[in-house]
């Protein structure tokens, strides 16, 4: 292994030289024909999942739109915007429930179009704000079940179909997988799903299945994944031990800081949907699609390439402001 170390060091340089050629190949190759291909999307009640379901339907895909509340406003609006019944089917899909995932698979199998099952988009997710000790163990378990295990549960159920039709798997991650600013619980689940994807992507190559990760920046205003939190709401949920350590003024400062970040989020969710569509239709999709502002990409760059002490200094400065 160590004898190959010099060669491994040269690989990044070689890849940088070949990247322009790869881009030319991507532009020249024919894009996928959507007609007759099925895609299942989780988390379609709102946000990116809702937008993607409509976009793929308009492109000609057969869309299975998983909704947590199939009788809710989001699901009804989705059906109305898609023009009623047809190539878009809304189904109940709570990714934390194995029976919902099994039922979704049975529905897909019974309504497969002629070209089969093409794509799985693991989009469902939840977010919240709070320092590590502020959140009870039940919250950590819920987030792991929705954001991490939910994606794994759905992927494992549909892997046989994806291998059969040499399809695509798309995962919703976030730039927050690289760092955290007051929402470590969300960051934790996204970092974990990235590692799951890295393993899956390599393993699926031999079957012709391609795995892509979408890494949005701050799109809180577009998705509504994270509603603003008041200091009073946070304080009321703290344990007596945490209240003995933190005062209300500190909690108010943290709430103001986090809510200000939310207010700066982009409202143009279609930028992220463009990347998701490319991951599903490009003849040569990218392993990762980072859709973020320049300053967000710069922060990721610092976190990924600089020593931890530099990263901690940058983030500590941001938190102090």
Each residue's pLDDT tens digit, 159-197: 999 999 999 999 999 999 999 888 899 999 999 999 999
What is the distance between the alpha carbons of residues 41 and 119, in angstroms, rounded to a whole number?
8
Q: Are 91 and 10 in contact (CB under 8 A)?
A: no
Q: Tell me the pLDDT tens digit for each residue of 225-283.
A: 888 889 999 999 999 999 999 999 999 999 999 999 899 999 999 999 999 999 999 99
Residue 317 annotated among the catalytic residues of the structure: no
Q: Which is it for strands 210-216 and 288-291: parallel, antiparallel or unpaired?
A: parallel
> What are the DSSP calls for 187-231, one per residue?
HHHHHHHHHHHHHHHHHHGGGT-EEEEEEE---HHHH--S----H
Distance from C-alpha of 174 to C-alpha of 223, rounded to nearest angstrom: 13
Alpha-carbon Rg for the chain, nearest whole angstrom, is: 21
Is pLDDT above 80 for 144? yes
The continuous run of DSSP H or E covering 75 comes out as helix 73-81
Q: 285 CB contacts (<8 Å, ≥6 apart)? A: 168, 210, 212, 278, 279
Cβ density class 278-310: b for 16+ within 10 Å, e for less: bbbbbeebbebbbbbeeebeebbebbeeeeeee
Is the pLDDT at 305 greater than 50? The verdict is yes
Burial 52-83 (b: 16+ CB within 10 A, else e): bbbbbbebebbbbbbbbebeeebbeebbeebe
Q: Give the separation between CA 90 and CA 120, rounded to whole angstroms.
A: 15
Dist. CA 311–CA 303, nearest whole Å = 5
What is the residue-wise DSSP string for 286-319?
-SEEEE--HHHHHHHHHHHHS-HHHHHHHHHHHH
CB 183 within 8 A of CB 227: no
* Mean of pLDDT values over 129-142: 94
Give the Å distances, CA to CA, from 190 to 84, 163, 195, 227, 283. Answer: 34, 25, 9, 19, 26
Nearest-angstrom CA–CA distance, 254 and 58: 42
The class that CATH gives domain 32-226+267-320 is alpha beta
Among 27-36, 151-160, 192-201, 206-215, the minimum mean pLDDT is found in 27-36
In the prediction, which pLDDT does 182 show? 81
The answer to whether 96 touches 146, Cβ cutoff 8 Å, is yes
Please tell me which residue in 165, 178, 186, 289 is annotated as part of the active site: 186
């Amino acid at each position: 292994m160590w004898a190959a170390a010099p060669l491994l060091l040269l690989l990044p340089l070689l890849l940088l030289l070949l990247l322009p050629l790869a881009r030319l190949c991507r532009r020249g190759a024919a894009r996928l024909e959507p007609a007759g291909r099925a895609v299942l999307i989780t988390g379609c009640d709102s946000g990116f999942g809702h937008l993607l379901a409509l976009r793929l339907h308009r492109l000609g895909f057969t869309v299975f739109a998983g909704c947590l509340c199939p009788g809710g406003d989001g699901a009804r609006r989705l059906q109305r915007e898609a023009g009623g019944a047809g190539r878009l089917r809304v189904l109940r899909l709570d990714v934390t429930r194995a029976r919902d995932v099994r039922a979704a698979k049975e529905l897909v199998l019974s309504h497969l179009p002629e070209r089969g099952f093409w794509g799985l988009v693991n989009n469902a997710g939840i977010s919240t704000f709070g320092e590590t000790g502020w959140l009870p163990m039940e919250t950590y378990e819920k987030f792991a079940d929705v954001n991490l295990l939910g994606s794994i549960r759905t992927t494992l159920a549909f892997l046989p179909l994806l291998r059969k039709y040499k399809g695509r798997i798309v995962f919703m991650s976030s730039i927050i997988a690289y760092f955290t600013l007051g929402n470590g619980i969300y960051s934790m689940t996204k970092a974990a799903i990235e590692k799951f994807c890295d393993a899956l992507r390599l393993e699926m190559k031999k079957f012709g299945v391609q795995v892509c990760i979408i890494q949005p920046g701050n799109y809180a205003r577009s998705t509504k994944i994270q509603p603003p939190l008041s200091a009073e709401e946070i304080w009321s949920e703290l344990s007596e031990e945490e209240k003995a350590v933190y005062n209300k003024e500190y909690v108010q400062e943290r709430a103001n800081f986090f809510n200000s970040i939310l207010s700066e989020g982009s409202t143009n969710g279609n930028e992220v949907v463009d990347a998701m569509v490319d991951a599903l239709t490009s003849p040569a999709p990218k392993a990762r699609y980072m859709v973020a502002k320049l300053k967000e990409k710069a922060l990721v760059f610092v976190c990924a390439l600089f020593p931890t002490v530099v990263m901690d200094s940058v983030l500590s400065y941001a938190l102090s402001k």
